[in-house]
Amino acid sequence: MTLREQLEAKKRRRAVVPVLVSDMTEDGNQLAAFQHAHALAAEAGRDAEAELLLADMEAQAEKVRGHWVDVELMALPPAEWEAATATWQTIQVQDDGPTAVMDWAEALPHLLALSCVDESMRDVAAWKPLLADGVCNLGEVDALKRALLHLNVEAADPRVPKD
């Protein structure tokens, strides 16, 4: 396949942001206990016990993963991203020149609704209370914002080798 064909076949970028939705403390502690017991059994050469503990550990890891949901986002077409962000951007003149400043508090629910792969979350009204009422913590809000920027603005570093 030629370079042109590869570029023409390029798909819109996607990113997944994991969001914790329930308290995983108990399940996490149980997973750590299984991991510790498995390590001790493997180190002692108790292979049959280690095998059983590995199965318990994998089942417990699934329980831990159940405390998280994946918010999948897709890049917007460039013109759509530009139009959407222009609504919440202002130009402020600083000492070093003009700077575009985004009102993320207003923009984020709209941009997430436009970008979310899950159709049930393509509604601004669904995102606003999650972001504003403390349902999502500051780290989760920041992760969602960074994912949008990564998908729509940032490019892969061309100096990073594929190997």
Q: Where are the alpha helices (DSSP H) in the chain?
A: 3-8, 25-43, 47-65, 78-86, 104-115, 124-132, 138-152
Task: Please state, as a whole number, how many other Cβ atoms lie within 10 Å of the Cβ of residue 76.
Answer: 19
Summarised one tens digit per residue, pLDDT across range 43-70 is 999 999 999 999 999 999 999 999 999 9
DSSP secondary structure letter of residue 98: E
**What single-letter amino acid sits at 157?**
D
Low-confidence ranges of the chain (pLDDT < 70): 156-163
